[in-house]
């Protein structure tokens, strides 16, 4: 019988790529998610019955254990960018990660891959970064041989980074940025999936790997590159951090007084704190080179999915070419 992997959060942005690759490796894949009925798309990643979404909440011991039962390897992709309801940073990224690792150890599972983030820091003033570090520490406490991946900002067809800002260019001539000079090292989502699969297959040495793309660029430079891809001219304005703190504070208050009916997916105070720090691979850190993976460039991927934000969408290049015709 083929081996079984349980992927927590396996229908999300990163998880779906890992799910597809594990299915291609011939493994049975159990995709543990809070809403299995919204994860039916993963069933198409393998043959009939190979990939199955199942209910699980990482805040609950029983559902985590049941989803893991009989697995040969575990991958935890669960994380949150913005706290909402009971799914706060501590509950998901610290306690949830600890729960998955503790139960994996109790069930005698040898391989655990945990998706963290560059910038994880137990001493950080950012709750996001602090809980990422707490999750890593808990994973290593229970599973010392785990593979921990720390990606920089992840890009790909379904990303919430380039898609979000490309969408903003439709709203007006100005593109405001918080942390315009902060450095990022964007990494392609499928390259992160390749690294996770190596960990699940036992082809990666245990430890922490920081994953960044071939180039580190400022936020401003990344947006300029995006604008070139979508054929739009916009004035990129860097907002001072003191202005960003005021804006984020007002939005966070609106979230609180509305009892989270307004979820504040725009800008939070915690995100402002994170944007003050560069998000690049640390000097001397293990990364793609040690995994034998050559990361994809932005130039080779962005045009594949950002074309829809061009003024004429898929016909933009044709229109521009037609303007040069001589009649």
Are 5 and 28 contacting, i.e. CB atoms less than 8 angstroms apart?
yes
Residue 225 in domain: no
Predicted confidence band of residue 327 (pLDDT cuts 50, 70, 90): low
What pTM, to 2 d.p., does this model score? 0.95
pLDDT reading at 70 higher than 90:
yes
HEC-encoded secondary structure of 105-143: HHCCCCEEEEECCCCCCCCCCCHHHHHHHHHHHHHHHHC
Residue holding tokens 């001219």?
A: 233
User: Taking the alpha carbons of 287, 292, 298, 301 in that order, is the dihedral positive or negative?
Assistant: negative
Residue 231 in domain: no
Task: Tell me the per-residue pLDDT of 177-194, one tens digit each, with 9 for 90 and over.
Answer: 999 999 999 999 999 999
Return the beta strands (E) in 116-247 as ranges.
147-151, 154-155, 174-178, 183-184, 187-188, 207-211, 217-218, 235-239
Residue 314 in domain: no
Task: Tell me the per-residue pLDDT of 201-254, one tens digit each, with 9 for 90 and over.
Answer: 999 999 999 999 999 999 999 999 999 999 999 999 999 999 999 999 999 999
pLDDT of residue 326: 61
Report, as an integer, the average pLDDT of 39-68: 96
Residue 178 in domain: no
pLDDT of residue 314: 82
The phi and psi torsions of 93 (rounded to 5 degrees) equal: -85, -25
- Give CA–CA dist 212/216, Å, rounded: 8
Residue 260 in domain: no
Q: How many domains, in total, are found in the chain? A: 1
User: Taking the alpha carbons of 225, 218, 169, 84 in that order, is the dihedral positive or negative?
Assistant: positive
Predicted confidence band of residue 321 (pLDDT cuts 50, 70, 90): confident
Average pLDDT, the chain: 96
Q: How many CA atoms lie within 13 A of 192 on its CB side?
A: 33
Report, as an integer, the average pLDDT of 103-127: 97
- Give CA–CA dist 295/289, Å, rounded: 9
Q: What percent of the chain has pLDDT over 70?
A: 99
pLDDT of residue 315: 78
End-to-end, the C-alpha distance of the chain in Å comes to 67
pLDDT of residue 102: 98
Predicted confidence band of residue 318 (pLDDT cuts 50, 70, 90): confident
Q: What percent of the chain has pLDDT over 90?
A: 94
Residue 198 in domain: yes
Q: Which two tokens stand for residue 175?
A: 């593109």
Cα Rg of the chain (Å, integer): 21
Read off the CATH number of the domain in which 206 is found. 3.40.50.720
Neighbours of 321 (CB within 10 A): 9
Task: Tell me the per-residue pLDDT of 84-107, one tens digit each, with 9 for 90 and over.
Answer: 999 999 999 999 999 999 999 999
Residue 273 in domain: no
Q: Residue 100: which domain range?
A: 4-156+186-214+279-295
- Give CA–CA dist 304/20, Å, rounded: 19
Q: Which two tokens stand for residue 295?
A: 């990361």
pLDDT of residue 37: 96
Residue holding tokens 């950002």?
A: 306
Predicted confidence band of residue 323 (pLDDT cuts 50, 70, 90): confident
Residue 261 in domain: no
What single DSSP character describes residue 292? T
Are 124 and 287 contacting, i.e. CB atoms less than 8 angstroms apart?
no
Report, as an integer, the average pLDDT of 160-165: 97
pLDDT of residue 320: 73
């Amino acid at each position: 019988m083929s081996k079984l992997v349980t992927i927590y959060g396996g229908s999300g942005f990163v998880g779906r790529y890992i799910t597809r690759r594990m299915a291609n490796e011939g493994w049975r894949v159990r995709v543990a998610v809070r809403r299995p009925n919204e994860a039916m798309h993963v069933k198409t990643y393998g043959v009939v019955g190979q990939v199955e979404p199942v209910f699980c909440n990482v805040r609950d011991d029983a559902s985590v254990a049941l989803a893991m039962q009989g697995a040969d390897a575990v991958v935890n992709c669960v994380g949150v960018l913005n706290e909402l309801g009971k799914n706060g940073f501590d509950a998901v990224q610290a306690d949830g990660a600890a729960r998955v690792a503790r139960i994996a150890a109790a069930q005698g599972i040898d391989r655990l891959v945990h998706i963290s983030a560059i910038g994880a820091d137990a001493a950080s003033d950012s709750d996001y970064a602090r809980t990422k570090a707490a999750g890593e520490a808990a994973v290593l406490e229970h599973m010392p041989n785990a593979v921990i991946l720390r990606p920089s900002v992840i890009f790909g067809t379904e990303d919430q980074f380039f898609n979000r800002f490309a969408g903003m260019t439709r709203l007006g001539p100005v593109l405001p940025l918080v942390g315009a000079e902060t450095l990022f090292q964007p990494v392609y989502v499928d390259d992160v999936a390749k690294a996770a699969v190596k960990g699940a297959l036992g082809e990666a040495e245990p430890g922490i790997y920081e994953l960044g793309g071939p180039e580190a660029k400022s936020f401003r430079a990344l947006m300029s590159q995006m604008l070139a891809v979508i054929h739009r001219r916009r004035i990129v304005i860097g907002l001072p951090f003191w202005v960003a703190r005021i804006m984020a504070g007002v939005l966070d208050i609106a979230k609180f007084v509305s009892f989270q009916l307004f979820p504040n997916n725009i800008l939070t105070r915690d995100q402002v704190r994170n944007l003050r720090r560069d998000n690049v691979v640390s000097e001397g850190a293990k990364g793609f080179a040690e995994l034998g993976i050559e990361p994809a460039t932005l130039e080779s991927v962005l045009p594949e999915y950002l074309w829809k934000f061009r003024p004429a969408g898929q016909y933009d290049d044709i229109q521009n070419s037609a303007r040069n015709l001589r009649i």
